[in-house]
Amino acid sequence: MKTIFEHIEYAKGKPHHVRKQIVFATAGLGTALVAFVWLAGSLSTDAFAIQGSNFADSTGRPAADVDRPSADVAGLAGAASALSDIDSPAHIEIVDTSPATSSGRQSEQTTIPF
């Protein structure tokens, strides 16, 4: 049986279009494997089972309970403060923090509206 390094050396000897096909086929197989493992895990843990659906009834197990976060979640404070100034237009303000120029005058700040 060939090692992976022998397979890589074999593929290096092929033309560019063949190597491209090998890479896409390998990536597709890897993606399919991950998707299959995810789907099998989701089906085995009843992640897709909705109470009262045919799938939940056919498995004979109760539907998975989903814990809903309470209304006093600390992460909402940041989102609420971001929305407090909703009437002002979005903008990026660039502030020059370099020292004053040789003439002693500070460069003018620039605001770029978008």
Tens-digit pLDDT profile for the chain (114 aa)? 789 899 889 889 999 999 999 999 999 999 999 999 999 888 888 777 666 556 556 666 665 555 555 555 555 555 555 555 566 676 677 776 766 555 656 666 677 776
For the entire predicted model, the pTM comes to: 0.41
Ordered by start, the domain boundaries in the chain are 1-65
Instruction: Give the SS3 label for residue 93.
Output: strand
pLDDT at 46: 73
Structure tokens given for 106: 């500070």
In sequence order, which residues have a C-beta less than 8 Å from that of residue 19 and are 6 or more positions away?
Answer: 11, 12
Contact (CB, 8 A) for 68 and 86:
no
Contact (CB, 8 A) for 107 and 96:
yes
